[in-house]
Amino acid sequence: MATLKDIARALDLSITQVSRALNDHSDVNEETRLRVKDAARAMNYHPNVSARKLVSGRSGMVGLVVPQHRSIGQDGIFLEVVAGLSAQFSGRGMHFVLHIMAENEPVLPVYQKLIGKAMLDGFVLIDPLDHDPRVDFLRKAGLAFVVHGRTTEAPDYPYFDIENKRLAGELTSFLAARGHRRIAFLNGISGRSYVTVRERGYLHALSQAGIAPDRRLHLNGDMDEATGLTATVRLFSDGGPRPTGIVCGNVRLARGVYQALEALGLSVPGDVSVVAHDDHLPTLRASAFFPALTVTKAPLRDSWEPLADCLTGAIEGKPLAGLQRIGNYSFIERNSAANIQSR
């Protein structure tokens, strides 16, 4: 395996110049930095983590801890998260470490164990809970982290998020403005911060439209096709509230809704209007639904770069104000919602 000395000899540079180029120091010009990185790749150079930590106090390694579940290898969103974050940190000369917990393993001891080995500079936290205990734990441990979302209304840590309350409200208001009074919301798992915030947006939009909320119309569960199908059957079962419009937390839920409505002999949008939030996953296009699905759209892939930027900045001790970012979303009206005011 090549060493810094080997690269320095091959390029006729000092070991210090090579080290600083690989670590993106500002006193190294762009041409030299690219020459050194190209040579490092060609010579299959990998930094010695222990040596790097002794010199800089950092390992150049960041982690993501996720729980084990049966279908993790087939979970398209999980694979998108891991591939996107790994590519972003790799592009910054950092190593991205994935730690999959054992089933039913308590989460905080896992972080304690990883921190105790002193090999990681920071963590990415995904699927945060309301008042997530990981946040307090890592803050007290003095370790850098970034959250994909916000666990409180006034976070004091780095994060990247989208306006979940506003987008849920916009989808609900869109249906209310078209005469719908029984609007169902298929939301995610209770306790997750984005799920709580989206429920607030849904309820606020109902209030603004003068619609009294019906608890039977707000259903929580996994954000997948099977949940969309079973929830829809439940809504239209004997004695069910039978909504005229359904807001879905993602497109996978919406696909299950479409399948259930077809099986029940109901049409979209003739009998039921359907709208959703779209993470824009490459394997599931809202525009390819029949009829095409009306959505708020915020591609999940747009999260990885700001998350990597914010964690890198936190590790470097940059001011918090620059490490809290909100992404944009767009609203796309298609053919899945009908105006029922004249009915």
CA–CA separation, 275 vs 119, rounded Å?
Answer: 45
Taking domain 61-162+302-327, whether its CATH number is 3.40.50.2300 is answered by: yes
Token pair listed for 161: 């998020």
CA–CA separation, 163 vs 170, rounded Å?
Answer: 11
% of the chain at pLDDT higher than 70: 93
What pLDDT score does 288 carry? 96
CATH code, residues 4-46: 1.10.260.40
CA–CA separation, 214 vs 271, rounded Å?
Answer: 20
Tell me if residue 50 falls in helix, strand or coil.
helix
What pLDDT score does 250 carry? 97
CA proximity to 80, closest of 255, 282, 221: 282
Tell me the pLDDT band of 48, cut-offs 50, 70 and 90: low
152-169: b or e for each residue (b if 16 or more CB lie within 10 Å)? eeebebbbbbbbbbbbbb
Residue ranges in 105-181 assigned as alpha helix (H):
107-116, 133-141, 164-176
pLDDT digits (tens, 9 = 90+) for 296-337: 999 999 999 999 999 999 999 999 999 999 999 999 999 999
pLDDT digits (tens, 9 = 90+) for 252-303: 999 999 999 999 999 999 999 999 999 998 889 999 999 999 999 999 999 9
28 vs 1, more confident: 28
Contact 174, 275 (CB under 8 A): yes
Contact 323, 313 (CB under 8 A): yes
Phi, psi (degrees; rounded to nearest 5) at 248 = -110, 140
Please indicate, yes or no, whether the overall pTM of this predicted structure exceeds 0.85. Answer: no
Q: Is 328 left (phi over 0), alpha (psi -120 to 50) or beta?
A: beta
CA 151: distance to chain centroid?
A: 14
40-51: b or e for each residue (b if 16 or more CB lie within 10 Å)? beeeebebeeee
pLDDT digits (tens, 9 = 90+) for 71-128: 555 567 888 899 999 999 988 888 999 999 888 889 999 999 888 876 799 999 999 9
The domain limits of the chain are 4-46, 61-162+302-327, 164-300
Rounded to 10 deg, the angle between the 15-22 and 4-11 helix axes is 110
Residue range 164-300 forms a domain whose CATH class is alpha beta
What pLDDT score does 77 carry? 81
Residue ranges in 158-224 assigned as alpha helix (H):
164-176, 193-208
Same topology for domains 4-46 and 164-300, yes or no?
no
Q: Is 244 left (phi over 0), alpha (psi -120 to 50) or beta?
A: alpha
